[in-house]
């Protein structure tokens, strides 16, 4: 009897403390009380007080990091102090929640900047003072590490198939399909593999169009978009640039990061020195 009584009051306490929110016609209600207003323009959600004074904005970002790895987060900005925009994780009440519902849910449950009295400016400023650290999974962390390495290489592919890194020719493609030059992506399935060589004509690796695999000269294999399935994977095609970037990561000896050369001051010869 005692145990069941404790259980009853525990459940009752959870139920009583639960905050039910609702958004209807731009008005955010918490436990049946109007606490804020929200407006959406160009996928940026502006939160206002009940007098329609803008307080902060939430923008949803979904971007490709590298290959098939994507990262989704929000950008939070204060309307009254735009000195800083911060990137944060967001939470949703369910897997099927839209952006607006997720923005409201994150504001109430995650960041606690909306309560039963309205928008809590003190808590909002505290978020900017002590920015919550993003919780990235291992796959996303590794993707950002790879992206950082790729960005340093600054790779481009010109119209004749040369691979350029930081303005310097470092290699080239061969066995290019007829679509090369008119299309940046490789959609053709060819019998000949597209091969990559360095600037000294040393074989680095190849891209197999039929399997979307990159294979280096030393035997490493990477399958592009391997984590995608169904029709989505069929519609994804790599660019020549992305292949050059990936093979540069797979074989670090292919492209070396160009270090910045710092030139000191030039000293003029006064004529006093003797040769």
Mean pLDDT, the chain, rounded, equals 85
- Is 193 within the bounds of a domain? yes
- Is 91 within the bounds of a domain? yes
Residues 163 and 64 in one domain: no
Average pLDDT over residues 133-147: 95
Angstrom CA distances, 46 to 39, 75, 233, stand at 5, 12, 35
- Is 48 within the bounds of a domain? yes
Residues 32 and 121 in one domain: yes
Residues 34 and 121 in one domain: yes
pLDDT band, very low/low/confident/very high, at 181 (cuts 50, 70, 90): confident
- Is 260 within the bounds of a domain? no
Residues 54 and 125 in one domain: yes
Interacting residues of 234 by C-beta distance below 8 A, sequence separation 6+: none
Residue 6 has pLDDT above 50, yes or no: no
pLDDT band, very low/low/confident/very high, at 259 (cuts 50, 70, 90): low
- Is 60 within the bounds of a domain? yes
pLDDT at 18: 45
pLDDT at 265: 55
Residues 69 and 125 in one domain: yes
Structurally, the chain folds into a number of domains equal to 2
- Is 145 within the bounds of a domain? no
Top pLDDT among 265 and 118 is at 118
- The parent domain of residue 197 ranges over 154-250
Average pLDDT over residues 246-273: 67
- Is 161 within the bounds of a domain? yes
Residues 121 and 196 in one domain: no
Residues 25 and 125 in one domain: yes
Percent of the chain with pLDDT over 90: 66
- Is 86 within the bounds of a domain? yes
């Amino acid at each position: 009897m005692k145990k069941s009584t404790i259980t009853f009051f525990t459940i009752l306490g959870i139920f009583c403390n639960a905050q039910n929110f609702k958004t209807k016609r731009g008005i955010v209600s918490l436990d049946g009380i109007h606490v804020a207003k929200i407006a959406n323009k160009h996928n940026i959600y502006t939160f206002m007080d009940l007098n329609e004074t803008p307080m902060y904005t939430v923008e949803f970002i979904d971007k490709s990091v590298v290959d098939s790895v994507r990262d989704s987060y929000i950008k939070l900005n204060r309307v009254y102090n735009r000195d800083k925009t911060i990137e944060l994780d967001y939470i949703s009440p369910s897997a099927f929640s839209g952006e607006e519902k997720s923005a409201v849910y994150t504001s109430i449950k995650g960041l606690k900047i909306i309560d039963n009295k309205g928008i809590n400016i003190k808590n909002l400023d505290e978020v900017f003072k002590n920015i919550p650290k993003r919780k990235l999974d291992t796959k996303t962390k590794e993707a950002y590490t790879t992206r950082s390495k790729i960005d340093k290489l600054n790779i481009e592919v010109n119209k004749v198939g040369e691979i350029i890194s930081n303005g310097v020719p470092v290699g080239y493609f061969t066995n290019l399909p007829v679509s090369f030059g008119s299309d940046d992506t490789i959609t053709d399935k060819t019998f000949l593999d597209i091969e990559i060589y360095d600037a000294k004509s040393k074989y680095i690796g190849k891209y197999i169009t039929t399997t979307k695999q990159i294979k280096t000269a030393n035997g490493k294999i990477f399958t592009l978009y391997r984590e995608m399935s169904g029709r989505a994977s069929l519609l994804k095609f790599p660019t020549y640039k992305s292949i050059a970037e990936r093979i540069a990561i797979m074989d670090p000896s292919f492209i070396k990061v160009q270090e910045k050369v710092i030139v000191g001051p030039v000293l003029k010869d006064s004529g006093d020195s003797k040769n």
